[in-house]
Structure 1
Amino acid sequence: MQKRLCKSRTDKMIAGVCGGIANYLNCDPTIVRLITAALVLFVGSGLILYIIAAIVMPYET
């Protein structure tokens, strides 16, 4: 079965994007959230990328 990048319905804080990425990469969601927070703080486009991912990524079934 092929893996799909989807937003998480169960492991989410805002939109489930970080939980879905962590599930896809088989890693801890906290690490993905910390990396996302660093991108938002230090790279201005991090927030825009998160919003785009929240809109484009489907929810897991």
Structure 2
Amino acid sequence: MSVNDPLSQPLMRVRQGKLIAGVCGGIAKWLGWDPTLVRLGYVVLTVLSVGFPGILMYIVLWILMPQEPV
């Protein structure tokens, strides 16, 4: 992997630009994607899965993903 490859960085929740806990923002930053697209994709997948699995996964990621340093 190259130095500029976003996947070479650890997956962490973001501090700035977060809406709830920074999980979707952290995933977007890690993948090098737009956070709005990741959030919309998460909402669509959550609605299509009748809500519970998506909400449960968000809570698990909130607990397991470390927050980026100050």
Under a length normalisation based on structure 1, what TM-score does the superposition of the two structures give? 0.92
Percent identical residues:
46
Q: What value does the CA root-mean-square deviation take over the aligned residues?
A: 1.1
**TM-fit CA distance, 1:11:** 1.7
Unaligned runs of 5+ in 2: none
* Larger Rg over CA atoms: 2
1:60 is matched with 68
Q: Distance in 2 between matches of 1:12 and 1:21?
A: 11
The number of residues matched between the two structures is 61
Under a length normalisation based on structure 2, what TM-score does the superposition of the two structures give? 0.81
Structure 1 residue runs of 4+, over 6 Å off? none
Unaligned runs of 5+ in 1: none
Give the match's secondary structure for 1:27: coil
